[in-house]
Chain A
Amino acid sequence: MSNSKLTRRGLIKTGAVAGAAGLTLPTYLRADGHAGFTNAPTGDTVTLGFNVPQSGPYADEGADELRAYELAVEHLNGGGDGGMMNTFSSKALQGNGILGKKVEYVTGDTQTKSDAARASARSMIEKDGAVMITGGSSSGVAVAVQALCQEAGIIFMAGLTHSNDTTGKDKKANGFRHFFNSYMSGAALAPVLAANYGTDRKAYHLTADYNWGYTTEEAVRSSTEAMGWETVNAVKTPLTQTDFSSYIAPVLQSGADVLVLNHYGGNMVNSLTNAVQFGLRDKLVNDKNFEIVVPLYSRLMAKGAGANVKGIFGSTNWHWSLQDEGSKAFVQSFGTKYGFPPSQAAHTCYVQTLLYADAVERAGSFNPCAVVEALEDFEFDGMGNGKTLYRGADHQCFKDVLVVKGKENPQSEFDLLEIVEVTPVAQVTYDPDHPQFSGGNLGTCNPGA
């Protein structure tokens, strides 16, 4: 008797003949075990699952991720100009699909809710026979889908997820994160802040009241305090808050001269807009200019906040104005296809797809355990962030981190951030058992079936 934990559909191949219990009809039981892992591709195609937010507040970010995935698929199948495949240090990819199989894909809507994201991912695994799931725009979704993939024996290549937990307390052997995290944001930002604003500053934190907010506040606090900043106060704000006036208004009374907004998405757009509205940036406190810091920036958020971002520091995973060969190649092919430059979410998703395909090629198998082995401690270059390491201990990518600030005179609606500093990877690297990442257990890879 053969059990398949989560099975695949899609391609029909006759397997072992077996009689299913309770059914009198002769049944043909397709044993998924024959290939040794879940959803082993058996025809001449392989299916990837792109699970991105298509409804809800992050729908535009999801749409950009989807564009990047479509581009990646095109490149993997030999179409277009090849993009980063030409600059990628590993040359395993041939432009003939993955292991000679044409890449097909299915899409789903995470709704930025963990339940919906898992339902969508399960449908990709059970109905469409996806062998890898990727995408997402929040840490809640990333952690939920990562756990599902671990159980199902599928590789998960995380999309945009910044919380320490994804590769910290909730890390999983089948999951990989290319995106940077809260700790790295703090470590990269602190020296730049010290250089620009001095080491004698009083910071006031507003923190989104959920896991990502907590890890970001902790990271920024500990790295700025290490430089001599004082944290005057840290106030938690509800996720569902839209008007932050009652949180912003008391900031000046506290004697703080820096406001750190540990917010993302709509929260960040609104809190930053409100803070600027209150004229905080025009004030002199403790004989210093009042400043605002946004630890995690994205272009879409900058767009939503409009002119309010001008001159405000933050960190980002990647930006299209980078001038290395990989970034240029990616911007070129994305811009040619869609008419505007890609976002950091698009970049991460594109790179994750290529990294997965490359790992399969190098491993010579779609078997998740083989892929995990190929990705662990894999070093590569030419993907836009300089030399990068996929660390085996926690499946986190280590690469340079960008510190950016809102541009004063944007040339177009996409030209909103400018790079202030590229923080070298050494400065943002931490031990796998760093206290901000403790409590997790990577476990071992699960091939499913």
Chain B
Amino acid sequence: MFGLTKRDSTLLIIVILLTVLAPFILNPFPEGSAMAQFNAGYPDLMQRLVIFGIFAIGFNILFGLTGYLSFGHAAFLGVGSYAAIWMMKLLTMNVVPAIIISVVVAGLFSLLVGWISLRRSGIYFSILTLAFAQMSYSLAYSVLTPITGGETGLQPKVDDPRILDGALAAGQTPRANFFGLEMGTSYELELGNWIFTFNAGYYIAAIVMILAFYLSIRIFRSPFGMMLRAVKSNQQRVNYTGLNAKPYTLAAFVISGMYAGLAGGLLVAMDTQVGAERMFWTASGEVVLMTILGGAGTLIGPVLGAGFIKYMENIVSKINKSVLEQWFAFMPDGIEDFLIAIVYPFIGKGWHLTLGILFMLVVIFLPGGLVEGGQRIGRLFKRKKPSDDAADGKTTPAE
């Protein structure tokens, strides 16, 4: 299907089903139940899950295929975001030009950064990319305030020019739209005690994510992708095969920079605001963590890693003491207090602690990331060849 092998087609279909049915899958618990706290099927989080999925997919094209570990990818996301919001302020609130320009600008910026940084390899490359990203962040937060809004960032304002859009009706705020369909538009489906939200912005982002994912499969399976894996495996042999590695790695760098820009543009399309923190080194580190956590070099891994981290950030951080009290209310008082005391450090303001512990557990017990966890579960069901497990996983390029 679509020029993919059977395995890849199956994977693509699974991803399509997961994204299309996400409003159901992410809302497994009925409204008002104690577990509803864990529901993630609301537009903002669903949008973020797929957008950061795109970001991680793109990062994986660079890191997973070539092995070059960029520590500055958030800069491309940020630059894309700024380009998109300026498009919205100056031209139109339609998201299409904003997203296109974000990809283009991020691509140009990554061409510049990549062209310089790829002169070095290994950790020297990582630090070069980090340096560019930190400079972008620092300047955007301070001296570039007239362009970036600095600390308070940029949002569309009522009195922006928007030369392609008509004048706003009184009392209206400018809203991002897709040829008139506003990103915030939602339908809610009520089934018994369940509510499922179908949000226009989410589905637009999801379609872009599916396309991005499809494209990444094609890249992974192409001669170009194979060359990149060859560069990662043995750069010496690449050179002595008459190939210059630099154009390949640079192309991979720019492609992944454009993915980051796409993610940045979509973030603005879904939530019309940009702040410089988006480019801080921790944001670059986050996408590295997403990719490794999910499984670097695998197709689906980065998407899983992105989903995992964003879910933790948005769901666990919102559990507070009164929610705990509700959960354990049925217990006898002493045990209730005891359980709350035990769980409390890990939720709400302690969500970072939980995340840190999970990072360690995953990397200690699942060296190939979450994908390997999935594979192990899969093998439990199959129980066929327990012998060749060890050699596998690490080098298998896909899944």
Shortest Cβ distance from residue B35 to the other chain A in the assembled complex, whole angstroms = 13
Contact flags B141-177 to A (C-beta < 8 A → 1, else 0): 1110100001111010111000000000011110100
Determine if A126 and B152 form an interchain contact, defined as CB atoms under 8 angstroms apart. no
Among B26-69, those with CB < 8 Å from A are 31-32, 39, 42-45, 48
The reply to whether A446 and B189 contact each other, CB–CB distance below 8 Å, is no
Are B173 and A150 touching (Cβ within 8 A)?
A: yes
- Distance in angstroms between the alpha carbons of A70 and B12 in the assembled complex: 47
Given that A119-B48, A211-B152, A240-B138 are contacting pairs, would A107 and B277 also be in contact in the complex, using a CB cutoff of 8 Å? no
Q: Which of A59, A108, A115 has the most CB of B within 10 A?
A: A115
Residues of A within 8 Å of B190, CB to CB, are 12, 14, 27-28, 30
Query: When A and B form their complex, what is the total count of cross-chain residue pairs whose Cβ atoms lie within 8 Å?
Result: 175
B399 on the A face (CB < 8 A): no
Nearest CB in chain A: distance from B264 CB, A: 11
Q: How far is the CA of A174 from the CA of B45 in the complex (A)?
A: 24
Bitwise, B184-206 to A at CB < 8 A (1) or not (0) is 11111110010101100000000
Q: Are B141 and A239 in contact (CB under 8 A)?
A: yes
Given A127-B39, A144-B273, A210-B141, A3–B155 Cβ distance below 8 Å?
Answer: no
A11 and B182 alpha carbons, distance in the complex (Å):
24
Residue in chain B with minimal CB distance to A174:
B173
Say yes or no: B197 contacts A126, CB within 8 Å. Answer: yes
CA distance A107 to B44 in the complex (A): 16
Q: With A and B bound together, what is the CA distance between A5 and B44 in angstroms?
A: 12
Cβ contact of A236, chosen from B142, B314, B317, cutoff 8 A: B142
- Say yes or no: is B336 at the interface (Cβ < 8 Å to chain A): no
Q: How far is the CB of B62 from chain A (nearest CB, A)?
A: 23
In the complex, the answer to whether B173 meets A210 with C-beta atoms within 8 Å is no
Q: Which residues of A contact B197 (CB under 8 A)?
A: 7, 9, 126
Q: In the assembly, what is the distance between CA of A240 and CA of B141, in Å?
A: 10
> Are B275 and A115 within 8 A (Cβ)?
yes
What's the least CB distance linking A10 to chain B, in Å? 7
Considering residues B141, B151, B272, B277, which has the most beta carbons from chain A within 10 angstroms of its beta carbon? B151
Task: With a 10 A CB-CB cut-off, give which of B43, B143, B159, B173 has the most chain A CB atoms.
Answer: B173
Instruction: Please tell me which one of the listed residues A9, A54, A120, A143 contacts residue B314 in the complex, with CB atoms under 8 A apart.
Output: A120
**Complex CA distance for A106 and B37, rounded to whole angstroms:** 10
Contact string against B for A residues 1-33, beta-carbon threshold 8 Å, 1 for contact and 0 otherwise: 001111101111010000010010101111000
The answer to whether B271 and A55 touch across the interface, beta carbons within 8 angstroms, is no
Q: Contact between B352 and A144 (Cβ–Cβ < 8 Å)? A: no
Is A212 a contact partner of B317 (Cβ separation < 8 A)? no
A interface residues, tally (CB under 8 Å): 65
Q: How many angstroms from the CA of A165 to the CA of B157 in the assembled complex?
A: 14
**Are A239 and B159 within 8 A (Cβ)?**
no
Question: Which of A27, A55, A114, A148 is the one whose CB lies under 8 Å from B187?
Answer: A27
Smallest CB separation, B340 vs chain A (Å): 15
Q: Which residues of B contact A23 (CB under 8 A)?
A: 187, 189, 198
B232 within 8 A of A: no
Listed residue (B44, B152, B159) with the most chain A CB atoms within 10 angstroms of its CB:
B152
Q: Is B120 an interface residue (CB 8 A)?
A: no
A116, A144, A165 interface centre (most CB from chain B within 10 Å): A144
Query: B155 and A239: CB pair below 8 A?
Result: no
Q: Is A238 an interface residue (CB 8 A)?
A: yes
5 nearest A-B residue pairs (beta carbon): A54-B349, A114-B275, A122-B44, A209-B142, A210-B151
Q: A9-B31, A12-B190, A214-B145 are in contact. List 20 more A-B contacts (CB 8 A).
A: A4-B186, A7-B186, A9-B42, A9-B195, A9-B197, A20-B187, A29-B188, A107-B320, A109-B318, A109-B348, A115-B275, A115-B278, A118-B273, A127-B42, A138-B151, A148-B271, A210-B150, A239-B141, A240-B138, A441-B159
